A and B are shown apart, each in its own frame.
Chain A
């Protein structure tokens, strides 16, 4: 990837600024670079989150049958394929115009719980905990999952175990841990769950629950060491978006899409998935391949909203399971009107959600209807347009398809969780950079924090832009004329 080429349009148009480039940002899913533009006096003017790759799923799926979409779109990501499968399956349900049987919905939900558990465990334990346990100024050679295994082996093992449990749910329900798209079909799922598998998962539940509870306790202790970060890590008001159920509780699979303002007022509720475009607009900027969705009523860029665990807990009034309900009450005390603005608390929200998912999985597994063999409603193409909305681990995921009379895709739009946060990324990194970047020389701690705020969001850029390639960190510092002043690679 040629970083100079990539950033030339900006450096040429704004020649009075200096620029620091962090490229790529590490320990996230996918590829991005961060450009920090400095004023003449070396203070930070603005920071830009640039996503540099492109894959084009929306184009090459044209002409394919709608029922292949769960399999194809799930390939955009190896971390959250289940969320793509489910959003896609829901869009296909809408195209055939049937309601899947109750058990099929329960099984899809159960699979989704597994997805959320494994993805949240991956972010918290493997990607983010090195920052939290070693501190942002520590040696980057140690501040990674291997350093974690060396220094805190028990903690690392807990992370691996929790993630494995999430993966096992997916495997037992759908046959495969990754890309289990064969199981899901428009109108339901292909095969039911067996009693042996239910019993196996029930046996594994208590261990996973224990790990999550312990981790939450630990997080609440160490968060006190990061008061500065909590205050400055993308701590700004914005809109929040997420699914809620009919009671206004936490929801990941179905329900209405709620948008809430910074004061906790529900400013919009989208009950008909087909009408999501009445609420969400998509803007494009020339420097990045990732679009900028915004809340239409407030306009671009004032309509910046955030999605993901933090947003979901902000828009939901409660979780709906006993332990998670206790935790969300405590969580909501962190902000005015129950709205928490600090991006740092994505970590906290992620752990509460993990607890909810484990409790919810337990509830689903205890319901005798989970074993019913009626899992498919059959139908042909009845509608020529369908939208599926689900909450992926990283936030709201929208799949929108149009088909011809034979069910071949003629148009496809996917809005990925990571994209929704795009405006918020720039706001967050600008805030962090303003606080910590105060020199022309690159220092480990300051750049780490800029990077870490992005990591707190847990972006998945392979989803959002569908990128491929190597992951390294290349940081460049340019002077006002675009000459390279300093460079660090690792």
Chain B
């Protein structure tokens, strides 16, 4: 990698220096400021899908997804205003309402990023009418299971399958709230001829949508997935 020049910007009033091209999310994280996100995972291409990392940039009325916006020289970023907090709470509630999120009986209970974020942001109820979907569960694979009712469409699985494993078994079909993660050309998982069974999709899933049958979630996510993916990516 070529040497990049350093730039300086302000995040929440703190002066920080990062190399050029760094995203606001990464710049903040490297300086101890955590911006909530569900779709972003270090080592994967930014997606900007969950909208939880939206930040304010002085001088612009727009909000910017911190995961997909590069830090610029002299930028003044606010990550935690009241407006942003409210937006984030609402986003979490909309994610909860869109499909079925019943923590008590979910495989990812206590190890779920959506649940943790809801707790952290103080989301203790959902104002919107819940849309209880009844998508059939695909358990046709030998050990990988997808319960699309729990999917938040962060596409981490799609990206890890494409960019890291390099097989692109997973992709999306349909649009908006009807969007679904599919295997190959909408095959059942057991019939997918490209899936290598590498389990990365289960490891990166922030919720309990993709999991390994018969394995507890702690076993599935037993080490820092981001570190592992970054290492794989850098070795390419």
Contacts and interface: CB of A to CB of B under 8 A. Distances in A.
Nearest to A405: B140
Contacts of B140: 406
Contacts of A408: 136-137, 139
A185 B145 CA distance: 16
B32 interface: no
Contacts, number: 34
Interface string A351-381: 0000000000000000000000000001010
A20 to B, nearest CB: 40
A378 B214 contact: yes
A236 B46 CA distance: 73
A182 B109 contact: yes
Interface stretch (A64-72, A387-395, A451-459): A64-72
A72 B105 contact: yes
Majority secondary structure of chain B interface residues (helix, strand, loop or mixed): loop
Interface in A322-349: none
B216 A182 contact: yes
Interface residues of B, number: 15
Nearest to A69: B105
Contact of B216 (A72, A190, A378, A407): A190
B216 A65 contact: no
Contact residues on A (Cβ < 8 Å of other chain), bracket: 10 to 19
A65 B214 contact: no
A67 B216 contact: no
Nearest to B216: A190
A185 B104 contact: no
Nearest to A187: B214
Interface in A420-450: none
A65 B145 contact: yes
Contacts of A71: 104-105
A31 to B, nearest CB: 22
B214 A64 contact: no
Contacts of B139: 65, 406-408
A126 interface: no
A120 interface: no
A124 B133 CA distance: 43
A179 B102 CA distance: 14
B130 to A, nearest CB: 14
A75 B104 contact: yes
Contact of B213 (A67, A75, A182): A67
Nearest to A378: B214
A206 interface: no
Nearest to B138: A406
B134 interface: yes
Contacts of B138: 406
Contact of A65 (B109, B134, B137, B142): B137
B137 A63 contact: yes
Chain A residues touching B, majority SS: loop
Contacts of B213: 65, 67, 380
Interface in A220-265: none
B109 A63 contact: no
Given A65-B145, A406-B139, A408-B136, A75 B214 contact: no
Interface string A175-191: 00001001001100010
Contacts of A406: 137-140
B107 to A, nearest CB: 8
Interface string A71-87: 11001000000000000
Nearest to B217: A182
B104 A63 contact: no
Contacts of A186: 214
B104 A179 contact: yes
Interface in B79-135: 104-105, 107, 109, 134
A464 B136 CA distance: 28
B199 to A, nearest CB: 16
A68 B41 CA distance: 28
B105 A75 contact: yes
A142 B107 CA distance: 45
Contacts of A190: 216
A190 B220 CA distance: 14
A407 B109 CA distance: 21
A185 B138 CA distance: 20
Interface in A173-226: 179, 182, 185-186, 190
A407 B213 CA distance: 11
A179 to B, nearest CB: 7
A63 B136 contact: yes
Given A182-B109, A408-B137, A67 B214 contact: yes
Nearest to B214: A378
A67 B145 CA distance: 12
A64 B104 contact: no
B108 to A, nearest CB: 11
B105 to A, nearest CB: 5
A187 to B, nearest CB: 8
Given A67-B214, A71-B105, A407-B139, 17 more contacts: A63-B134, A63-B136, A63-B137, A64-B137, A68-B105, A68-B107, A71-B104, A72-B105, A75-B105, A186-B214, A380-B142, A380-B213, A406-B137, A406-B139, A406-B140, A408-B137, A408-B139
12 contacts: A65-B139, A65-B145, A67-B213, A75-B105, A182-B216, A185-B214, A378-B214, A380-B142, A380-B213, A406-B138, A408-B136, A408-B137
